[in-house]
């Protein structure tokens, strides 16, 4: 099924926000987005309404729309939600996934091990591995929710970790998850998926705390 213009606009604008090309607090101008993306006004407006529901955009009455800020007090809620849903999706994937899913996941992991792979490339591969598992779960409602939650996590990575985090460990965690999925061990795969979530949450939390602690307080 071809992607609608509204869906294309949603993903394009969300990607601008996730990659901080549109930073927290930036004013969103529809005409700029139309010119930048080559998409008409109605799909742009539909996309922005959806982004507001997904909390990437904030609507200010009589002022317009701004890129939503990041509330660090909500980090734990993001983690606890993903920590429940990702293992659940992994269990479903273990029961419903097919050989082609695991072959595609293996190919993505192999690509991550090539010399010269950048951190941005590794983050994209991390997302690919998640998407393969979501697809294998066979539940589009779960996939849509996890897609939005992952984008929020991806945004945090770009805000706090892109310049300092080495994503290779995350991809190797996917290799372990892949092994459990191929073996049909749903509980081990789910446990590894939860540990993968926990490692990311701990890394983000440490990075946020470093930003929030005044320099003299750290001495």
Q: What is the CATH number of the domain that holds 40?
A: 1.10.10.10
How many Å apart are CA 159 and CA 164, to the nearest integer?
11
CATH number at residue 139: 1.20.120.530
18 and 89 both lie in a single domain:
no
51 and 142 both lie in a single domain:
no
* Cβ atoms of residues 70 and 24 within 8 Å: yes
Number of structural domains found in the chain: 2
Which H or E run contains 57?
A: strand 57-60
Residue ending a domain, among 29, 47, 67, is 67
62 and 17 both lie in a single domain:
yes
Residue ending a domain, among 67, 99, 121, is 67
43 and 129 both lie in a single domain:
no
- pLDDT (tens, 9 = 90+) of the chain, 219 residues, equals 457 999 999 999 999 999 999 999 999 999 999 999 999 999 999 999 999 999 999 998 877 899 999 887 888 899 999 999 999 999 999 999 999 999 999 999 999 999 888 888 999 999 999 999 999 999 999 999 999 999 999 999 888 887 777 788 899 999 999 999 999 999 999 999 999 999 999 988 888 877 765 444 443
Q: How far is CA 17 from CA 28, 29, 92, 95, in A?
A: 10, 13, 31, 35
Q: In the numeric block, which tokens belong to residue 178? A: 């892949």
Predicted TM-score (pTM) of the model is 0.88
Residue ending a domain, among 48, 67, 86, is 67
Query: C-alpha angle 159/38/21, rounded to 5°?
Result: 10
Owning domain of residue 52: 5-67
């Amino acid at each position: 099924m071809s992607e609608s213009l509204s869906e294309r606009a949603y993903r394009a604008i969300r990607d601008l926000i996730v990659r901080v090309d549109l930073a927290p607090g930036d004013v969103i101008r529809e005409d700029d987005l139309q010119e930048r993306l080559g998409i008409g006004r109605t799909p742009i407006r539909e996309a922005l309404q959806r982004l507001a529901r997904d909390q990437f955009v904030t609507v200010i009455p009589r002022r317009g729309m701004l890129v939503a800020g990041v509330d660090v007090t909500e980090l734990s809620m993001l983690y606890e939600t993903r920590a429940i849903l990702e293992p659940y999706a992994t269990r479903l994937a273990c029961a419903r996934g097919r050989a082609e899913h695991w072959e595609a996941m293996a190919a993505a992991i192999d690509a991550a091990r090539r010399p010269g792979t950048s951190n941005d490339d590794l983050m994209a591969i991390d997302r690919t591995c998640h998407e393969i598992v979501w697809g294998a779960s066979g539940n589009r409602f779960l996939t849509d929710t996890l897609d939005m939650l992952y984008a929020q996590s991806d945004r945090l990575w770009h805000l706090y970790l892109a310049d300092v985090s080495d994503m290779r460990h995350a991809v190797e965690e996917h290799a372990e998850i892949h092994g459990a999925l191929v073996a049909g061990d749903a509980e081990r795969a789910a446990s590894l998926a939860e540990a993968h979530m926990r490692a990311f949450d701990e890394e983000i939390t440490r990075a946020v705390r470093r930003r929030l602690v005044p320099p003299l307080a750290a001495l």
